[in-house]
Amino acid sequence: MDEFLAQIFQVGFFAALIRIATPLILATIGELYAERSGVLNLGIEGTMLLGAMAGFSVGYFSGSLWLGVAAAMLAGMVMGLIMGLTTVTLGLSQHVSGIGVTLLATGLAFFFYRLIFGQPSVPPSVKPFQPVPLPLLSDIPVIGPVLFNQFALSYLALLLVPLTAFLLYRTPWGLALRTVGENPRAADAGGVNVATMRYQALVISGALMGAAGAFLSMAQFNAFTFGVVSGRGWVCIALVVFGMWSPWKSALGALLFGFIDALQLRLQAGGAFHLPYQVFLMMPFVLTIVAMAMVSRNARAPAALLVPFRKEER
């Protein structure tokens, strides 16, 4: 048994964990901005997929992966704006709007991928992002190769967590955003434009979801496939709840999910227990539901989440 465990928990395992957690951290923090402002962004799954497609296409034709990331973020921002139009300007149901945005973004991703690439027998691929070892730091034993020999986007994702915590809790903008999510009436009385804040949060959330998609199609994998996101977006929604709407705890949840996912990949590759591989694919989803069941009773969402704000109505 010890040998079995030693085989699993190698340096490579923890490096993989961070790699798997990267898109989840990006998208979860993105969702966090939206929910902290009072809007549940269920467009996440589709926005990630559209980001993966847009990023991959631009990266493929321009030869610049970073240009691809920018395109993915731009596509995500557009989806955020649509979400803002429906939930903020029109005050429509956030649940249904989000599902609508996901269906729309998914359809657009499929449509444009087929339009651009046709139906090639060999799917096009890019030379993906390579890990960037940080000088000196990557030489530290154990920690070095795990933390400091990662993709540039992984570093950015990890840095995004303290940055978000700082923005939310230490700046006037963050205070305004949180107030809009907790008590929009008070924010409005204090001179904060509720609609503008929510639009900003949704555009940021879309950009981060798009970047998460770009990471999937250009770093974690080297091509766009229709199933490249396959439920990761929905897991991020759960991670925000699991993380009690805190950037630190949500990111920790993403790392925990990365741990479970990396573990199932190892078990799958090791042919453990002679189970069909789909059982391992299922595992993270089951555990996410169990985790939700454990924390949801005590979870306290932003008070104005799901509530449209109409200035004139009281």
Partner 1 sequence: MIRLRLERRETAPAWLKLALAVGAILLTLLICSGLILLAGAPVFEAYGRLFLTPFSSRFDTVETAVKAAPLILTGLAVAVAFRAKFWNIGAEGQLLAGAMAAAFIGGRASLPDAALEPLMILSGAAAGAAWALLPAFLRTRYKVDDVVTTLLLNFVMFYGMTALLDGPWKDPLSGYPDSPDIRIEAEFPVLLRATRLHLGIVIALAAALVVWFVMNRTVLGFSIKAVGENPRAAAYAGIPIARVILTTAAISGALAGLAGVGEVGGVHFQVMAGLSPGYGYTGIVIAMLAALSPLGVVPAAVFFAVVITGAEGMSRATGVPVYLADVIQGVALICMLAALLFTHYRIRAVGRPAAPAIGAAPAPHRRVAEG
- Which residues are near partner 1 by CB under 8 A? 42, 46, 82, 86, 89-90, 92-93, 95-97, 99-108, 110-111, 114-115, 230-231, 234-235, 237-238, 241, 275-279, 281-282, 285-286, 288-289, 292-293, 296-297, 299, 310, 312-314
* CA torsion, ordered 49, 55, 60, 65, to nearest 10 deg: -140
The residues that bridge with 149 in the sheet, in sequence order, are 133
CB of 86 to partner 1, least distance (A): 6
CB of 130 to partner 1, least distance (A): 31
Burial class of residue 48 in the structure, from the number of CB atoms within 10 Å of its CB (0-12 exposed, 13-18 middle, 19+ buried)? buried
Beta strands in the chain (DSSP E): 132-133, 149-150
CB of 290 to partner 1, least distance (A): 10
CB of 261 to partner 1, least distance (A): 13
User: Which of 42, 99, 12, 93 lies closest to 240 in space, CA to CA?
Assistant: 42
**How far lies 237's CA from each of 42, 111, 183, 271, in Å?**
8, 26, 22, 31
Closer Cβ to partner 1, 8 or 292, answer by number: 292
CB of 63 to partner 1, least distance (A): 23
CB of 191 to partner 1, least distance (A): 18
At what angle are helices 152-170 and 247-269 packed, to 10 degrees?
A: 150
CB of 70 to partner 1, least distance (A): 21
User: Which of 238, 231, 48, 19 lies closest to 145 in space, CA to CA?
Assistant: 19
Count of Cβ atoms closer than 10 Å to residue 26 Cβ: 30
3-state secondary structure of 142: coil
Q: Give me Rg for the CA atoms of the chain.
A: 20
Count of Cβ atoms closer than 10 Å to residue 65 Cβ: 23
* CA torsion, ordered 31, 260, 8, 157, to nearest 10 deg: 10
